[in-house]
A and B are shown apart, each in its own frame.
Chain A
Amino acid sequence: MSEKKPSLWLRAYSISVYGLIYAPILILIVFSFNTQKLNIRWEGFTLDWYKVLFNDSRILLATRNTLIIAFISTLVATIIGTMAALAMHRYRFPLYNLSETVMYIPIVIPEVVMGISLLVFFVMINFTLGLTTITLSHIAFNIPFVALVVRARLHGYDKAIDEAAMDLGANELTTFWRVTLPTIMPGVLSGAMLALTLSLDDYVITYFTAGPGSTTLPLRVFSMVKTAVTPEINALSTIWVLIIFILLVIGQISQKKKA
């Protein structure tokens, strides 16, 4: 039935759904250029809100924090997660099932629960809340996702190439560095991308583990939404959407090139 064209109703329906999905974002973007402050009616075109955005030091600080946290947590989680994926794919070690279950916990528990448990933990060990606690928490939920993605990509890995490398004179470390890692690199990068996204976007867990003065972009946006609603948020949103869009398009193009 793939040859039959979907009925007209179905097409119309789907297009409307697509429209409804995009409408809020488009409205957001359009109103970022609105002179009126309240996001209700269109009054005039202006770039003022963007100027306000770029001069907003709190936003800039939040952006800087978000990027640092995302970068560090992605790096650490990718390394640890890849090691875990390799372990689970290749070996039978003691506590295998337990390790697997523990690894999946951050993925299945509600974010609120993970957030408060981390809060309780840090308070109990008297660790001051701040950028460090946020980063540590991000690493915690990133590791399982990286491991999951890399493990999925390890399916069908031909271990004969590792044996071939050893046969040709490479010891275990050299084999990993010159053969295994390059071969699994697409999967590792995939996992890293996912971790990066999760970290950049995270609100709930960051909310509970952030201290006063350590704010990230999602936290800042949330408080702006709840308190001072100006089209500055629209401007921020527009830029954010634009950046994501460009990155995704680049990602798609480079994937098509490789194929």
Chain B
Amino acid sequence: MISGQVGETPKSKFSLTKILRENSRAQGFFLISPTNIYLFLLVVLPLILVTGLSFLSRGTYGQVEFTLNFSNYTRLFDPLYGKVMLFSLGVGVGTTVICILIGYPLAYFLAHAPIKQRSLLLFLILLPFWTNFIIRIFAWMIILRSGGILDSILQWLHITQGPLNLLYTPTAVMIGMVYEFLPFMVLPLYTSLEKIENSLLEAAADLGAPPYKAFLRVTLPLSVPGMIAGTILTFIPAMGMFVVPDILGGAKTILIGNVIRNQFLTARDWPFGAAASMVLMLMTMILTLYYTRKAGFGEELLV
């Protein structure tokens, strides 16, 4: 706030407050120090430990032995775990794509809703997602179980005859994931679409474009930033998910997140779990850092 180097100072002892008062860089550093210290200890340091851990080995009783071991990483790409990785990738991609397909028309609807209704509609979309997500996944468990509500309705409508046994299948997991991540796709898309000015579409029409062409050549490209933001907010967490597969997928459907969880809690092969975490983290961080360096975080969505 105040800068300068030379001149008389009022009579004051040499003290921390004097340095802080006169040096704006010191003020800034002082304010960010608690954050830096705290996050270094509880985020950076632990991550470094995990990185190191990923190169060590598991002892016979589940403890960590300090022998260098690269097989943790190679194990991740063998048929068993390789399948899991591919499946996770597939779930991530699938969730994102389905969310875009389902969410785009909804975002479009919201962006063109009369302004008075808009905040109410947005509020209504957000409302369910302020409730705890385990509860919501549990709700789907009730609906999807054999003999449950979905089965009852479908049989009542004579679409199916017997129970569908949807629970504990990949399909159930996908349903849960899409349900979970839909608002993370709808909101950025809405923001992007809302910013498109009427005059652009009027100009397209004026120049002879029928509505579907105007959509393809004007609206769609301009909504790409929103799609990218939504993809980041969906794809990355989706890959690391383990709650949804755990509840809706049972033992058969496993993602990387489940692998990591198991290694740390049941199988007790911490180094292997650490390696799996590193791979997951690398996959997601590369994407995120690349995108946010270009386009920021969308903090405006949080305000």
| Pair from one complex | yes
Point out residues on A near B: beta carbons under 8 Å.
Answer: 1-4, 6, 10-11, 13-14, 17-18, 21-25, 27-28, 31, 39-41, 80-81, 83-84, 86-88, 90-96, 99, 102-114, 116-121, 124, 136-137, 139-140, 143-145, 147-149, 151-153, 159, 162-163, 172, 187, 190, 194, 197, 200-201, 203-204, 208, 217-218, 221-222, 225-226, 229, 233, 236-237, 240-241, 244-245, 248, 252
- Among B21, B139, B260, the one with the most A-chain Cβ atoms within 10 Å of its Cβ is B139
Report which of B25, B105, B152, B299 forms a contact with A14, defined as CB distance below 8 A: B105
27 contacts between A and B (CB under 8 A): A10-B105, A17-B102, A24-B136, A24-B140, A24-B142, A25-B128, A27-B149, A39-B142, A87-B27, A87-B30, A94-B25, A105-B43, A105-B47, A108-B285, A108-B288, A110-B280, A116-B273, A117-B50, A121-B45, A121-B46, A139-B42, A143-B38, A149-B299, A149-B303, A225-B137, A245-B127, A248-B130
For residue B62, CB closer than 8 A to chain A, the reply is no
- Among A3, A40, A95, A245, the one with the most B-chain Cβ atoms within 10 Å of its Cβ is A40
- Tell me how far the C-beta of A41 lies from the nearest C-beta in chain B, rounded to whole angstroms: 8
- Closest chain B residue to A145, Cβ basis: B302
Q: List 10 additional contacts besides A18-B125, A116-B260, A240-B132; criterion CB under 8 Å.
A: A17-B106, A24-B136, A91-B28, A91-B31, A92-B28, A99-B36, A110-B236, A140-B38, A222-B134, A222-B243
A102-B44, A237-B138 known; A194 vs B131 contact (CB < 8 Å): no
B284 A90 Cβ-Cβ under 8 A: no
For residue B230, CB closer than 8 A to chain A, the reply is no
- In the bound complex, residues from chain B placing their C-beta under 8 Å from that of A197 are 130
- Tell me how far the C-beta of B177 lies from the nearest C-beta in chain A, rounded to whole angstroms: 14
For residue B264, CB closer than 8 A to chain A, the reply is yes
- In the bound complex, residues from chain A placing their C-beta under 8 Å from that of B27 are 87, 91, 93
B138 A244 Cβ-Cβ under 8 A: no
Is the contact region of chain B dominated by helix, strand, or loop, or is it mixed? helix
B281 A110 Cβ-Cβ under 8 A: yes
- Closest chain A residue to B151, Cβ basis: A40
Within 8 A of A (CB), among B193-219: 198, 201-202
B50 A120 Cβ-Cβ under 8 A: yes
Report which of B34, B44, B280 forms a contact with A80, defined as CB distance below 8 A: B34
- Tell me how far the C-beta of B235 lies from the nearest C-beta in chain A, rounded to whole angstroms: 11
For residue B240, CB closer than 8 A to chain A, the reply is yes
A27 B139 Cβ-Cβ under 8 A: yes
Interface residue stretch chosen among B4-12, B68-76, B78-86, B107-115:
B107-115
A21 B125 Cβ-Cβ under 8 A: yes
- In the bound complex, residues from chain A placing their C-beta under 8 Å from that of B31 are 83-84, 86-87, 91
